[in-house]
Structure 1
Amino acid sequence: MTAALEEDRAALARAAEQEERVLSGLPEPADRSPGQRAAATAAIDAARDARCAFLDAHAEEVYEELTAGRTRRLRLPELAAAAAAAFPGLVPGPDRLAREQARQQQDKEGHEIDIGIFFNRVLHAPRAGDHLLGTMLRPTPRALGLLAEFTRTGTADLGSVRMERRDGVARLTMCRDDCLNAEDNRQVEDMETAVDLALLDPGVEAGLLRGGEMTHHRYRGRRVFSAGINLKALHNGTISLVDFLLRRELGYIHKLLRGLVTDEGPAWRAQPIQKPWVAAVDTFAIGGGTQLLLVFDHVVAASDAYLSLPAAQEGIIPGASALRLTRHTGPRPARQIILAGRRLPADEARAIGLIDEVHDPDTLDLAIEGALQRLRGAAVVANRRMLNLTEEPLEAFRRYMADFALHQALRLYSIDVVTKVSRFTTASSPTSERPQT
């Protein structure tokens, strides 16, 4: 701990107190006059300038203090809560975040942007960022608590994801039939638990992800892979920057790609636990569903399925797609897909490298089993590890996620996002590409 850190910590607290004095004297965000909104913006900007300057000078020191010299493993929400306690004014505390989450997105103050600033600086700091990535690749306490039962029975019902181990394959079925497998905080929690269990169970050699049968009136009895982010949850203010948008990328999706870090085995040969993964796409993979496919080793799709990344329509950043999509499709198609919302029928998606096989729905099950069998060779895991290291170096991912943390937070509170999400949640046109969830 340095004198400069202590002096700057006190200055940061004073800047945050000034921001709080201004905001506490104003009406709720939705009720402010133009002049009051300008006053709030000026106060918030001044405090954020102070936060950025503080972290630019001390990000590594802050992380060292919060993690006791990188001896403590704090996941995203734990790290943010520790920062709020140890550095007053740096990030909003749990109580403030809880009050914010109780509001609709359009009525929030936008305190999550300060968390975006925090993780932006932490991830850009090499030692801190690498340690945080490693922490997020460790199994969750929930998965460790369920592991013995899953290993014994080969089944688990996690709520929005069901699991079955059969013939050495962990078969994960997304079963949010109420919303076409549109993701929210709950599904991210369940998906990370499921991925952890599949990777930890020694009886699992490969993993399969597929959507279950829906009860939605437009897709009743049909399997659906994913409708992407749950826009109703976003409109209602319950999509969290930390527990959804950051945890999703740094948690289960990164684990699908990079594996699971544990302390088992001799240190000299320590490697993440990795297994090959197959995705099976029925009906559609929209938004986050298509993002998921970019980290799978093999993707099989029904001939009547389609893919899309409607980022321009929703107004938010489509996860790590900007990092990963170009290596599948090349730069021009990637821009058409992300910037213009180009929709890809299964055959077209296969032609540009997003899908490996396309089959009639009646023969899809057989194709899935064939793909799983081909990925169960003894050298598959070692070779997928080397391919992934080449295609996506850890440093490149860390730098991308640093900027994603801030810019996604800014997009969450943009006027156009709030307007678009409200339109999606009330639209009823059956011709809209985005299924209404």
Structure 2
Amino acid sequence: MSTNEVRVQRVGSTLLITIDRPQARNSVNAAVATGLAAALDELEADTALRAGVLTGAKGTFSAGMDLKAALKGESPNIPGRGFGGLTEAELTKPLIAAVEGFAVGGGFELALGCDLIVAAEDAHFGLPEVKRGLIAAGGGVIRLPKRIPYHLAMEFLLTGEPVSGARAGELGLANRVTPPGETVAVALGLAEQIAHNAPLALAAVKNLVRTADGVPEADAFAVQRRVMDTLMASADVREGMTAFAERRTPEWTGK
């Protein structure tokens, strides 16, 4: 489902999702949030799709919340799904951010809501909310200290100053750093690599990483045992083992 603000394109088994408001630096208003939520629903519902790539049109990822729209009473949040319909959504399929240009404020938080980040070396990542009397409430304050060392995360959050895509790679925020204009191609390549793997196993990894966050190890292992019992009873596990023994590529069914 494409809208005027969010475009989707199927590239093999990947759904390429593009925020398309370049005149507003792809900032997020109510229409963008609704469009992103619909695109993510499409990704989740279609068994032929294995992963998603999120990017922005014309060289900018997203400048975050559309402040002009917010002042008019528009909300960039979707109930139960958070900012942009993404930051609090519990997706089962991998999502990769392809960041060109600015990913600041809520734009950075959209990237943090993805599983992998591909950044152009001249991209800009920042959380400037404190400069406007706010905090990075779309996941920045919560997620960033879990992704990079505490003191480095606090520099982002307390100064509001941005860093380049190259620096994001050095900090471990970005999985890949590319020359400008190449992030989507690299992200699609990563998505293709992911798509070779069993969809049930990919969903299980995401579920366990989310479940194990902040809970005692014993509880996390208890959940993992239940997940493994389910996986071991699946047709995909049998197919994976059979394909390995027969030295062929597995044919996943997601069952």
Please indicate the TM-score interval, normalised by the length of the shorter structure: 0.7 to 0.9
What is the aligned length? Answer: 210
Q: What's the offset of the Cα at 1:366?
A: 3.6
TM-score (norm 1): 0.45
Are 2:82 and 1:249 equivalent residues in the alignment?
A: yes
Distance in 1 (CA, whole Å) between partners of 2:185 and 2:214 is 31
Equivalent in the alignment of 1:432: none
Change (3 A) 1:245 1:168: closer
Stretches of structure 1 that go unaligned for 5 or more consecutive residues are: 1-155, 214-222, 260-273, 394-437
1:134-213 paired onto structure 2 within 5 Å: 156-213=1-58
Normalized per residue, which structure has more strand? 2
- 2:78, 2:134 → 1: CA distance? 10
Distance 1:334 1:239, change over 3 A: farther
8 Å CA contact 2:104, 2:128 repeated in 1: yes
User: C-alpha distance in 2, partners of 1:371/1:180?
Assistant: 26
Q: Is the 8 A contact 1:290 1:308 kept in 2?
A: yes
Tell me how far apart the structure 2 counterparts of residues 176 and 201 of structure 1 sit (CA, whole Å). 26
Letter matched to residue 390 of structure 1? A
Q: Rg larger in 1 or in 2?
A: 1
Structure in which a larger fraction of residues adopt helix: 1
Q: Is the 8 A contact 1:188 1:247 kept in 2?
A: no
2:253 is matched with: none
Between the aligned partners of 1:252 and 1:362, the Cα distance in structure 2 is 24
Which of 119, 133, 139 is the equivalent residue of 1:301?
119
Provide the secondary structure at the position in 2 that maps to 1:162.
strand
Looking at structure 1, the residues matched to 179 and 206 of structure 2 have their Cα atoms a distance apart, in angstroms, of: 28
Deviations 1:11-55 (A, max 9, x none): xxxxxxxxxxxxxxxxxxxxxxxxxxxxxxxxxxxxxxxxxxxxx
Q: Tell me the residue number matched to 2:248.
A: none
Residue type at the aligned position of 1:189: T
1:56-75 alignment runs, 5 A limit: none
Q: Show structure 2 runs of 5+ residues with no match.
A: 216-255
Secondary structure in 1 aligned to 2:88? helix
Deviation at 1:361, TM superposition (A): 2.1
Q: Matched residues in 2 for 1:167 and 1:326: separation? A: 35
Report if aligned partners of 1:188, 1:248 keep a CA contact under 8 Å in 2. no
Matches within 5 A, 1:303-382: 303-318=121-136, 319-376=138-195, 377-378=197-198, 379-382=201-204
Q: How much does 1:299 deviate?
A: 0.6
TM-fit CA distance, 1:177:
1.9
SS of equivalent residue, structure 2 residue 144: helix
1:233 maps to what in 2? 69
Q: In the aligned structure 2, how far is the partner of 1:347 from the partner of 1:177?
A: 23
4+ runs deviating over 4 angstroms: 245-248
